[in-house]
Amino acid sequence: MIRVLIADDQAPVREALRLVFDGEPDIEVVDEAANGAEAVRKALWRRPDVVVVDLRMPHLDGIAAIRQLTATEPAPRVLALTTFDLDAYLFGALQAGAAGFLLKDSEPELLLDAVRALHTGQGLIDPQVTGRLINRFAALSPRAPTRELDLLTPREHEVLRHIARGLSNAEIADTLVIGPGTVKTHVARVLSKLGLRTRVHAVIYAYEHGLAGDT
């Protein structure tokens, strides 16, 4: 069962999100919060697996709340939601530690996919903004290689490059002609060695270090 905490300052939005989740046998809404500070407090109490956070909330905004939530131990996965398609929200949420980012006008099926993906250690970015995210990081001057990269095996380097291309585990398995379970192990090791929380952050890391185009 995936335990979810909903944080949004608008009661109708919280109710709409709860209705989407309540119809799913594998998802349980354990609590709601009306502001960022309450979200952090209730997350520490309820220990949800996933926290769905609106980025515009009183008392403590969503990005600040995400930063505090991801600093807890064990940290929940955070899915950022916003009505506003602004780069500052997208990059701010991801840099604060969010594992997923969706616009509020996304289809309910995408919201459910995102929560399930986050629960399994993956990430999900709204397709409406994915292209802009990639273009933003592709335009950056690559950073100098880090010591952590030296810890990766040649196969793990390959897996990281394919993650940056947006390939799923199944697609990476087909490309490298290895089993899906082996890919899952490689992905876990890449994230661990690089100190990254999710595949989303692995994509950002790859672009920042000039690895995404090296296929």
Domains of the chain by range and CATH?
A: 2-135 (3.40.50.2300), 141-208 (1.10.10.10)
Measured distance CA(190)–CA(193) in Å, rounded: 5
pLDDT at residue number 215: 44
DSSP H/E element including 31: strand 27-33
Phi and psi torsions of 204, nearest 5°:
-60, -45
| Exposed/middle/buried for residue 206 (C-beta within 10 Å: 0-12, 13-18, 19+) | buried
- Give the three-class secondary structure for 71: coil
Query: What is the phi/psi pair of residue 104, to 5°?
Result: -70, -15
The tens digit of pLDDT for each residue in 11-67 reads 999 999 999 999 899 999 999 999 999 999 999 999 999 999 999 898 899 999 999
- In the predicted model, residues of the chain with pLDDT beneath 50 are 214-215
Collapsing DSSP to helix, strand or coil, 10 comes out as coil
pLDDT at res. 209: 78
Tokens representing 114 are: 């995102």
Residue 81's beta-bridge partner residues?
Answer: 54, 102
Burial of 143 (0-12, 13-18, 19+ CB in 10 A): exposed
Strands 100-103 and 77-82: parallel
* pLDDT on residue 115: 96
Maximum pairwise Cα distance, the chain: 51
Q: How far apart are CA 9 and CA 60, in angstroms?
A: 11
Dihedral sign for Cα atoms in the order 188, 190, 194, 196 = negative
